[in-house]
Structure 1
Amino acid sequence: MESYSFLEHSYIEWLAKRIDSGLFKKKGERSRERLKLAAARNLETKGYHEMRVADITHDAGVSDGAFYVYFQDKRDVTLAVMREFVELLEKSSENSTEKTPQGSPSAPFEMVRRQNLRYISVGRANAGLMRCILQITDQEAEFDRLVQKMNHDYYQRITKSALKKNEGKEWSKETVLFLAYSLGAMMDELFRRLVIQPDKYLCEIVAEIAPSDAALADLLSIIWIRVLYPSAGVPEGLSRSAKELMSAIRSSDNA
């Protein structure tokens, strides 16, 4: 279960399967996990601010008193759920890099596309929990530090890869890290406006030029590649929109 991939399941499905797997032998452990599962379901559908302890206990089929055996309040169970969710996100990110084939001219593109598709797929499967990350980081300094550290570690890995692929160029680590942060901010804002708080105008554009998650990952990856891996090749078979975007970026480079 620890090798679980978010590309295949939501966090809530993972929690449910882990409970059913027989991993937790003690009744108290199973009860705690069922409360986490109930909290995750309510966080996904209602969000942190609207969720109540009564919602969690009703979904878990236990009394309010049983809840307080394991958690102090809704904040306590929320942080337990969201810490685990974020930690699994990080593992999923690391795995997406490890599984990328190396050696071909388009290897950097394949790596970036895999990571971007993972981000989109994870987000869609866990949209409510992704919204909760924004809600909770605004209130909980410790959780905010955890999320910042996760993001920083990810951008550090991207920076290390970009510097290695661009040996000979006079790029400083700080400059490339800033570029990685900027591209990450682009991803976060686009995802927010596509899934968390849908912008109907942007959604219409994306539906036209990138009707699938894979097509959207291709478009975003072209931007990443042109910024961080300008000498890298791209694979055959990209969509017309992806080719148009690539041509537009190259034209601006030559302007």
Structure 2
Amino acid sequence: MNPAKPDSPRRSARGEAARQRLMDAAVRVLDRVGFHQMRIKDVTHEAGVATGLFYHYFKDLRQLVDEVLDAHIAEFEAVDVIEREVSKGDWFNRLRAHYEICVRVHAEHPGIMRCIAQFSADDPVFRERWKRSFNRRLDLLVEVFPYVFPDCRLSTPEVELLVHGLSGVGKELMAEYYIDRDPVLRQVELSQEAMAEWLAALLYRGLFACNPPAEQLRHAQQILTIRRN
């Protein structure tokens, strides 16, 4: 990725506002078309500024989009912010909080997630950046695993394998539901809150081999009935 140079001159409040306007416009354009169809004039038109202003802040589209993606990746990594209202030991709401941000970005900015997938396929450097970010979040669960499951006999590599396997819960579904808008899946109309709860409940069941606490469910109560006697 190509973040702006740290020694770039300090910008005025007006300059920062113009720069942010371009970044916000880029998100809206990406939500309509892919990165490879995106043009600088599309962004400046969306932002309502002259095309020449673009080059005051970004050298090219790739730098602009890199910074937009960095900002969204930082949101995924802001664990303290994501979990600020979650009580210690409340694993279902912890999982739900992380799914809420994932669902929100997929639902409100499908172009961002589409662009992440495109860059991951085309750019080895970006692919490694995204992989590190994803693994950093998984490592938080790997680190506490022995304390959550003190009787577990899995080795650390086996725990990592398990956590990575379970981490895929919902990834393909969110892509098909929000980005591809699969008509079969879209027959089930779920709010963002409901989707996050469904996915958190599924991951909770896979991780803890039991249902989440019934009193914490607001949308996914049907999942409690999926069991064998």
Shorter-chain TM band: 0.7 to 0.9
Aligned length: 220
CA distance in 1, matches of 2:119, 2:76: 16
Change in Cα spacing, 1:122 to 1:170, as seen in structure 2 (3 Å) is: same
Listed one character per residue, the Cα deviations across residues 17-68 of structure 1 (whole Å, up to 9, x for unaligned) are xxxxxxx635444433332222222122222122101112222333333322
Residue number in structure 1 paired with 2:213: 234
CA distance in 2, matches of 1:42, 1:229: 41
Q: Which runs of 5+ in 1 are unaligned?
A: 1-23
Listed one character per residue, the Cα deviations across residues 210-245 of structure 1 (whole Å, up to 9, x for unaligned) are x43333333322322222223685132646x84553
Q: Is structure 2 residue 223 aligned with structure 1 residue 245? A: yes
CA distance in 1, matches of 2:135, 2:96: 19
Q: Is structure 2 residue 191 aligned with structure 1 residue 212? A: yes
1:165-244 → structure 2 map (5 Å cutoff): 165-204=148-187, 206-207=188-189, 211-230=190-209, 234-236=213-215, 238=217, 242-244=220-222
Residue number in structure 1 paired with 2:5: none
Please say which of residues 52-61 and 31-40 is displaced more in the overlay: 31-40
Q: Which amino acid aligns with 2:206?
A: V
8 Å CA contact 2:142–2:163 kept in 1: the answer is: yes
1:81-120 → structure 2 map (5 Å cutoff): 81-91=68-78, 93-103=79-89, 107-120=90-103
8 Å CA contact 1:43–1:132 kept in 2: the answer is: yes
CA distance in 2, matches of 1:76, 1:39: 11
Q: Which runs of 5+ in 2 are unaligned?
A: 1-10
Cα distance, 1:151 vs. partner?
A: 0.3
Cα distance, 1:166 vs. partner?
A: 0.5
SS at match of 1:185: coil
CA distance in 2, matches of 1:178, 1:123: 26
Residue number in structure 2 paired with 1:25: 12
1:105-144 → structure 2 map (5 Å cutoff): 107-144=90-127
CA distance in 2, matches of 1:212, 1:41: 21
Cα distance, 1:89 vs. partner?
A: 2.6
8 Å CA contact 1:109–1:221 kept in 2: the answer is: yes
Of 52, 58, 67, the match for 2:54: 67
Q: Is structure 2 residue 13 aligned with structure 1 residue 35? A: no
TM-score, normalised via structure 1 length: 0.74
TM-score, normalised via structure 2 length: 0.81
8 Å CA contact 2:166–2:207 kept in 1: the answer is: no
Cα distance, 1:247 vs. partner?
A: 4.1
Listed one character per residue, the Cα deviations across residues 81-139 of structure 1 (whole Å, up to 9, x for unaligned) are 21222122321x44223431125xxx222221222233212321222211111122222
8 Å CA contact 2:169–2:202 kept in 1: the answer is: no
Change in Cα spacing, 1:162 to 1:134, as seen in structure 2 (3 Å) is: same
Superposed CA RMSD in Å reads 2.7
Of 148, 157, 174, the match for 2:131: 148
CA distance in 2, matches of 1:76, 1:231: 46
Of 46, 52, 63, the match for 1:76: 63
